[in-house]
Amino acid sequence: MALESNERPDKPITKFESMLKTDDVYFFDAEDFEDIVHHYLNHGKISLAKKGIKIGLQQHPGSIELKLLQVEVMVFENQMEKAEALLDELQLLDNHNEEIYIQRANILSKLDNHEGAIELLQKALSITNNSFDVYSLLGMEYLFMDNFDSAKESFMKCVEFDEQDYSSLYNVVYCFEFLEDYEGAIVYLNGYLEKNPYCEVAWHQLGKQYYYKEMYTEALTAFDFAIISDDSFIGAYFEKGKVLEKLGRYKEAIENYETTISIEDPTSHAFLRIGKCYEKLKDTDMAKYYFYQTVHEDPLLDKGWLAITNLYYNKRDFEKAVFYINKALNIDGENPQYWKKCAKIHMALENYDQADFAFKQAVDLGNYELDTWLKWAEVVKINGETDAAVQILAQGREFYPESLKLLYKSVGYLLLSNDPINARIMLMDALKIDKEQKKLHLFTENFPQYGQSEWTQEIVKKYNKTK
């Protein structure tokens, strides 16, 4: 039998769940069912939401709102054809219901037709009295299309409707940042703060914009206001610590990072930053302690293992350094900088085969820095593969065609490979760039057996005559 609402608990959710546990049938208003279904959808409990819709439509078969929620579930479960068919029925009943256009837009969005979704949302916008949700959805569609200017404008509308909508505020700032319009973000946030002077979120975001602009004094002020607005705002303390690091005020930076740890459970990132500060303060023992705390807190944080690697590398304890760089590589084996560090450590240990392999990995993964080519060629040459070293330097010259370090070293290696003709051409190319021969010592000092030879003196003399 159906029971009146005053015979059961007042809260619809509690009453509904109580009903599911019994054979009783409770009566709810259609609005109550809507609240129940929204509750379960928001909490990801789809099966309970579907039960709510089913029972709701049994009691209120004409409820368009419940049928629209049914569409929402169908779309979530990728039942697009069923959803479209139901929307067609509903549109015949109510052609001016904006939710119908919103759900149709949702379907098109899931099918990656974002332009079509935007057209439907614009239609919804023309007939709705509550445009907040529509602007939010429009903003997301524009983001899918990488149209950051339009996305920014849409999210700004959301903030105009609700100044406490921090999700939209973050999205506005995100768009400014993606467009690298930090000045625009600063102007916007300052305007927002004139109306909401105690908004810690806005102060925090403003501080980050100043940080990007390297306006560290202004950034500190913004983060201080964020902390004044909410003295438990961990993000503000952390960002303030980063600014203080940039200013070389490492002890103050440590205090701010320690504050984040005292407010909430410690994080690996806070430990890492504290360790970096102690490293800058030349307190190696404390730096090591916090770096080990970092990897203890999060063994998968590769930057923690890299920090320990650098600590031992700088102390010239290369055996330990190679052990820890391998820890970092086990986590992120696609990081070219880690492979380069690994190569340099093996080079210091005179493990030239391993160094050769590591440099090759670094280059294959996109590290094309000048000293990578120079050091890799040096390792290969030490291994007795001078021809291969010449080829490596030739690759490097594709990226740095006017690098005298590469050119003069190439001359030496070509001579070592018994290729005087190409060595002569390379030396002439180098001298054309090094007109005053201020860098000629890169050849004469590194290859003394050739640097003072008659061969070299003759080429230099001929070049001087042709200048």
* Residues 398, 458: Cα–Cα separation, whole Å: 28
Under DSSP, the state recorded for 130 is -
* Residues 409, 123: Cα–Cα separation, whole Å: 67
Domain assignment of residue 263, yes or no: no
Domain assignment of residue 314, yes or no: no
State the CATH number of the domain containing residue 388: 1.25.40.10
Residue 209 has what pLDDT? 97
Residue 405 has what pLDDT? 95
Q: How many CB atoms lie within 10 A of CB 198?
A: 12
* Residues 223, 239: Cα–Cα separation, whole Å: 7
For residue 139, give Cα distances in angstroms to 125, 127, 136, 466.
13, 18, 5, 66
Residue 467 has what pLDDT? 59
Domain assignment of residue 241, yes or no: no
- Give the three-class secondary structure for 117: helix
* Residues 198, 185: Cα–Cα separation, whole Å: 18
Domain assignment of residue 404, yes or no: yes
* Residues 276, 111: Cα–Cα separation, whole Å: 47
Residues in the chain: 467
Residue 19 has what pLDDT? 75
Which residue has tokens 């049994």?
58
442 neighbors 405 (Cβ within 8 angstroms) = yes
Domain assignment of residue 388, yes or no: yes
- Give the three-class secondary structure for 2: strand
59 neighbors 27 (Cβ within 8 angstroms) = yes
User: Average pLDDT by consecutive 10-residue portion of the chain (467 residues)?
Assistant: 40 75 74 79 79 75 74 75 72 75 83 89 83 90 95 95 94 96 97 96 97 96 97 96 97 97 93 97 96 96 96 96 97 97 97 97 97 97 95 96 95 94 92 87 89 82 71
Beta bridge partners of 26: 3
What letter represents residue 298's amino acid? Answer: D
Domain assignment of residue 434, yes or no: yes
| Biggest distance spanned by C-alpha atoms of the chain | 113
Burial class (CB in 10 A: 0-12, 13-18, 19+), 381: buried
- Using alpha carbons, select from 53, 55, 48 the residue that is nearest to residue 25: 55
Residue 114 has what pLDDT? 92
Q: Specify the number of domains making up the chain.
A: 1
- Provide the residue range defining the domain that includes 402: 368-466
Q: What is the pTM of this model?
A: 0.78
Tens digit of pLDDT for each residue in 154-197? 999 999 999 999 999 999 999 999 999 999 999 999 999 999 99
* Residues 216, 194: Cα–Cα separation, whole Å: 21
Residue 4 has what pLDDT? 39
* Residues 337, 332: Cα–Cα separation, whole Å: 10
* Residues 39, 32: Cα–Cα separation, whole Å: 11
Beta bridge partners of 2: 25
* Residues 265, 261: Cα–Cα separation, whole Å: 6
